[in-house]
Amino acid sequence: NPLVELKNIQKSFHQNQVLKGVSLAIHKSEVISIIGGNGAGKSTLMKILTGVYKADSGELEINGENIIHFNPLIAHQKGIYLVPQEPLLFPNMTVEQNLTIGFDKTKAEVRTTTKKLLEQLGWDLDLHRYANSLTIAEQQQLEIIKGLLRNAKVLILDEPTSALTFSETKSLFAVIEKLKTAGVGIFYITHRLDEVFQISTHAVILRDGNITLKGKIDQFTKEMLIEGLIPDGNIKNDT
């Protein structure tokens, strides 16, 4: 079974039909890049996958089980975890407090598991620092650790490198590689095509509310992806 599968998802906001029947599945150890112009519906699709938005129609299966009533709490329980473009941390709490809040584990348990995770991932994040003193990259690390502590099986990274330096990006990619090896499924939202070839196993183009291209990364060239985003020399933005 796929870790999760979306089937024929439709979603409109008022008269604006953003998703016109999108189907997408992810399996263990897949890193699926989701590419599309601004406003193509990438974030909307991922918010549906995390129960933040409700689809107008379509189905969601998690590990083969059809989920009828879905919400963010169930998404977390099922191991689906979004690392938002702008992390939503409690600024006046420490890293450790941010990791522990709303979590039915003791401080000691969280500390032990977090230290193990940080060591495995090669990150050096001081648990006693306040969230408001963290760089964007460190905030992201905190969000990823938060998901992994809760046994994330599917991680969604929404344009994660947009505010990272070159070396921070390299560090993130190394971690993605490790998570992939550990069996985590990753949706990687981006509009940077070079990154797509660096880290993904699969690529998906979302355009005009539909998936217009989907497949294993090794069958695509950069030119094919560009063409998929902007067909026939039509350089109009798709918003």
Name the site residues for ligand ADP (rule: CB under 6 A): 13, 16, 18, 36, 38-44
Q: For 196, list phi and psi in degrees, rounded to 5.
A: -55, -45
Closest C-alpha to 154, from 23, 30, 20: 30
Distances (CA, A) of 164 to 138, 146, 173, 207, 233: 10, 19, 12, 26, 31
Window of 36-44, 122-130, 149-157, 167-175 that interacts with Mg ion by CB under 5 A: 36-44
Per CB under 5 A, 161 contacts Mg ion: no
82 DSSP β-pair partners = 156
Q: Which amino acid is located at 100 in the chain?
A: T
Smallest gap from residue 204 Cβ to ligand ADP (A)? 12
38/167 with CB nearer Mg ion: 38
Interface pick for Mg ion out of 33, 43, 161, 190 (rule CB under 5 A): 43
The residue with tokens 């306040």 is 130
Interface pick for Mg ion out of 15, 38, 181, 234 (rule CB under 5 A): 38
18/80 with CB nearer ligand ADP: 18
Cα–Cα distance for residue pair 170/168, rounded to 1 Å: 5
Q: For the chain, how far is it from start to end, CA to CA, in angstroms?
A: 34
- Cα-based torsion angle of the residue sequence 89, 150, 138, 31 in order, rounded to the nearest 10 degrees: -120
Smallest gap from residue 187 Cβ to ligand ADP (A)? 12
Smallest gap from residue 78 Cβ to ligand ADP (A)? 22
Cα–Cα distance for residue pair 22/11, rounded to 1 Å: 9
100/140 with CB nearer ligand ADP: 140
Smallest gap from residue 156 Cβ to ligand ADP (A)? 12
The option from Mg ion, ligand ADP, none interacting with 44 (CB < 5 to 8 A, set by class) reads ligand ADP
97/210 with CB nearer ligand ADP: 210
Cα–Cα distance for residue pair 119/125, rounded to 1 Å: 10
Smallest gap from residue 24 Cβ to ligand ADP (A)? 14
Count of residues interacting with Mg ion (CB under 5 A): 3
**Interacting residues with Mg ion (CB under 5 A):** 38, 42-43
